[in-house]
């Protein structure tokens, strides 16, 4: 099972300016026209999916009033037109009808900003961040990349109008406060059927002026994923490499609660966070009883995590006990809890009911050992950044009997 990347190369002709384009089939164009987009769109925003065969059969299609054409294979024959067109993708699976792509003149790179049918689309806000977590999978850049806001506002218009999950993340999304609020307002107006989940360290919410702004959004399905790595300032601040972060995050959490926001606490499981994981669960329950969900996440071994290996790496087999204690502490008290990003062979059977298949389709992969495993369809697999150094000694294929033990304990 290969993971699907979010970008590939095409040969691009007659592109004069950067564009965001919605890929649609001829049938869609005929049946729905611009209604295939959730928001306001024009014909020039559409990129018609046009295999060679269709074009050669019906050359008049080239005069359709679309923004351009996408040939999802090497070009056959001549393209008799000075209109924008793309052909010969390096990986032909990457771009599909319904996707929204971004292209720039002089660059063969085609980025998929929205993938139809994927439940892990996200609006990327910025590469900047005000923390520097030891395990940061996306090291921050100190640049002005406000242009993401405009791109996202445009992107919202071009998405499908369907019920699905949409994430907002970065870097730290709250660094562009007005842009974020504008995007959330637009999501409510244009994509009210989508569940929005924003990943943020919550630190800037310590400023109470956010409360009114957040309450005013009134989004029907908005939730916030905020990391908390310890029940005390010393340990948390060390993990995020920012003195005062614990206090700011807690203040931020209370302000989010005052603004009636739905809050999820996220914890990345590593050598620094697992020793006091049960104590952290206790702290969350006593001090943040309004939390709707706790997500306990296997570590992604990319970015800054690599250079902090000694501090961070712990074999998941070695934290099964605190993990179990924390999970059942929360579950027994009615707090929904999930385990993400850990292969099923590394989770004891009695915890498998909490495991979710969670690695985004564009990030996950399975290794050789997985080929004969009975659990592979239910397993989140590994991050594509996975290496031997970060591999548990416990990775193994599960037999059918072993896997049915998991299924039974999920009752």
Partner 1 sequence: MWGFAVTLIATDAKHYRLLPFRFMRMNTGHDRDILLTSDTGEYMHINDAQLRALSYFNVRASTPFYKDLLARHFIYEPGRHDPFPEMAAQYRSRKDFLFQGPALHLFVVTLRCNHTCQYCQVSRAPLGGSGHDLSEADAQAAVDRLFESNAPALTVEFQGGEPLLAFQRVRQIVEWIVERNVVEQRDIQFVITTTLHHLTEEILDFAEQNRIQFSTSLDGPAPLHNANRPTPSRDSYERTVKGIQWVRERLGHDAVSALTTLTSRSLEQPEAIIDEYVSQSFSTISLRPLSPYGFATKSAHRLDYPIERYLAFYKKALAYLLDINQQGVYLSESYASLLLKNILTPFSSGYVDLRSPAGAGTAALVYNYDGYVYPSDEARMLLEMGEDGLRLGTVQQPLSELLASPVMNALLASGVAEALPGCSDCALVPYCGADPIEHYARQADPIGHRVFSSFCKKNMGLLKHLFGLLCDGDDNVQRVLLSWLNRRSYNDVQFPGYGG
Binding site for partner 1 (CB under 8 A): 231-235, 246-247, 250-251, 254, 276, 278-279, 281-283, 285-289, 324-334, 350, 409
Measured from the CB atom, is 86 or 294 closer to partner 1?
294
**Closest CA relative to residue 387, chosen from 323, 311, 305:** 305
Q: How many CA within 13 A on the CB side of residue 33? A: 5
The answer to whether the CB of 263 falls within 8 A of the CB of 253 is: yes
> Given phi > 0 = left and psi -120 to 50 = alpha, else beta, which region is 300?
beta
CB closer to partner 1 out of 234 and 401: 234
Q: Which is nearer to partner 1, 151 or 248 (CB)?
A: 248
Closest CB 295 distance from partner 1, rounded Å: 17
The strand pair at 7-9 and 109-114 is best described as antiparallel
* Minimum CB–partner distance for residue 104 and partner 1 (Å): 46
Q: Is 93 exposed, middle or buried (0-12, 13-18, 19+ CB in 10 A)?
A: exposed
* CA distance between the termini of the chain: 28
State how far the Cα of 110 lies from the Cα of 276, in Å rounded to an integer.
44
Alpha-carbon 15 to chain mean position: 29
Strands 11-13 and 85-87: antiparallel
Closest approach, Cβ 353 to partner 1, in A, equals 9
Instruction: Copy the structure tokens of residue 11.
Output: 């040969």
CB of 146 to partner 1, least distance (A): 33
Closest-CA residue to 139 (of 128, 125, 124, 123) = 128
User: CB of residue 257 vs partner 1: minimum separation in angstroms?
Assistant: 9
The residue (of 234 and 368) whose beta carbon lies closer to partner 1 is 234
How many whole angstroms separate alpha carbon 214 and alpha carbon 205? Answer: 10
**Closer residue to partner 1 (CB): 194 or 236:** 236
In whole angstroms, give the CA distance from residue 251 to residue 116: 37
- Closest CB to partner 1 among 154 and 238? 238
- Report the residue number, 282 or 384, with the smaller CB distance to partner 1: 282
Q: 134 φ, ψ to 5°? A: -55, -30
Q: Are 28 and 97 in contact (CB under 8 A)?
A: yes
Shortest spacing between CB 393 and partner 1, in angstroms: 24
- CA 212 – CA 224 distance, rounded (Å): 16
Which residue lies nearer to partner 1 by CB, 328 or 362? 328
Rounded CA separation 148/180 (Å): 10
- Residue 68 in 3-state DSSP? strand
- By C-beta, is 241 or 247 nearer to partner 1? 247
């Amino acid at each position: 099972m290969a993971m699907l990347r979010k970008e590939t190369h095409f040969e691009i002709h007659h592109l004069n300016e950067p564009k965001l384009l919605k890929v649609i089939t001829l049938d869609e164009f005929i049946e729905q026209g611009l209604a295939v987009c959730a928001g306001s769109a024009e014909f020039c925003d559409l990129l018609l999916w046009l295999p060679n065969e269709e074009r050669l059969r019906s050359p008049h299609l080239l005069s359709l009033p679309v923004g351009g054409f996408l040939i999802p294979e090497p070009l056959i024959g001549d393209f008799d037109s000075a209109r924008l067109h793309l052909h010969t993708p390096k990986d032909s699976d990457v771009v599909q009808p319904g996707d929204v792509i971004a292209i720039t003149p002089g660059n063969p790179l085609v980025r998929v900003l929205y993938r139809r049918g994927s439940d892990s689309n996200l609006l990327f806000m910025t590469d900047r961040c005000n923390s520097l977590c030891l395990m940061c999978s996306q090291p921050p850049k100190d640049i002005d990349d406000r242009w993401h806001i405009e791109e996202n506002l445009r992107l919202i218009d071009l998405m499908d109008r369907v019920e699905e999950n949409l994430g907002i993340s970065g870097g730290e999304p709250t660094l562009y406060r007005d842009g974020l609020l504008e995007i959330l307002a637009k999501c409510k107006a244009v994509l009210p059927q989508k569940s929005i989940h924003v990943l943020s360290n919550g630190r800037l919410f310590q400023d109470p002026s956010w409360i009114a702004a957040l309450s005013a959004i009134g989004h029907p399905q908005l939730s916030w994923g905020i990391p908390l790595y310890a029940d005390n300032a010393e340990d948390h601040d060390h993990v995020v490499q920012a003195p005062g972060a614990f206090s700011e995050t807690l203040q931020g959490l209370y302000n989010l609660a005052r603004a009636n926001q739905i809050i999820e606490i996220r914890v990345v499981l590593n050598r620094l966070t697992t020793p006091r994981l049960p104590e952290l669960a206790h702290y969350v329950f006593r001090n943040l009883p309004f939390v709707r969900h706790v997500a306990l996440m296997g570590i992604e071994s990319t970015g800054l995590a690599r250079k902090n290996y000694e501090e961070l790496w712990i074999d998941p087999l070695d934290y099964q006990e605190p993990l179990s204690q924390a999970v059942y502490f929360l579950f027994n008290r009615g707090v929904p809890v999930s385990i993400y990003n850990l292969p099923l062979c590394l989770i004891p059977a009695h915890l498998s009911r909490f495991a979710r298949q969670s690695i985004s389709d564009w990030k996950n992969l399975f290794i050789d050992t997985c080929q004969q495993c009975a659990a592979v369809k239910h397993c989140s697999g590994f991050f594509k950044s996975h290496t031997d150094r970060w591999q548990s000694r416990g990775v193994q294929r599960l037999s059918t009997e072993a896997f049915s033990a998991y299924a039974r304990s999920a009752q």
